Structure formats: C-alpha cells, structure tokens
Amino acid sequence: MSTNPRRFIIALGGYQKVALRLGKPDSTVHGWITAEDGKFPSRLYRAFCSLADEVGVARPEPELFRFLPLPPPAPGERAA
C-alpha cells in the first residue's frame, strides 16, 4: 500500500483520470497531490477505496488522509 499521495494517484491512472472519475477539475486533484501536508481530505477516503478496488490496486493507507484525531477525555470524564 502506498503512503505517498502522488504514487497512489499514479497507481489509479494519474490525476487527470482520477479527476474525471470523481467529477472534479484536474487542478483540484493535482492540488491534493501537491498539498504541503501531503494528505488528502478525509471526505475522499471511501471514494479512493472504491477507485482502488475498481483499478485493482491496494486501498490507500488511512495515514494519507486528514482525519480528525480523537481529543483526550476531559478530566473526570469516563471513556465511552
């Protein structure tokens, strides 16, 4: 599994093919792979997993996405 956004997009067929499949402008997908933090928006996780399945490549690592971390419990708060 790729932990590099650029390699993952290339494995899917390149940013233009991914953009077409997602119905997004080429520049948007290109921006995702050149983002300073090197991560995709978390809302894309399921779509990218589906694309990986369609193309026959490994699903992306969750570390490639900007998921919000779970904050620590407040003092005296019990875990769920």
State the DSSP H helix or E strand holding residue 65, giving kind and residue range, or none if neither: strand 65-66
- Per-residue confidence (pLDDT) for residue 1, from 0 to 100: 56
Domain boundaries defined on the chain: 5-66
**Percent of the chain at pLDDT exceeding 90:** 71
> 37-49 b/e with 16+ CB inside 10 Å = b?
eeebeeebbeebe
User: DSSP secondary-structure letter at 77?
Assistant: P
Residue with tokens 């399921």: 46
CA–CA gap between residue 42 and residue 67 (Å, rounded):
5
What pLDDT digit, counting tens, does each position of 34-67 carry? 888 889 999 999 999 999 999 999 999 999 999 9
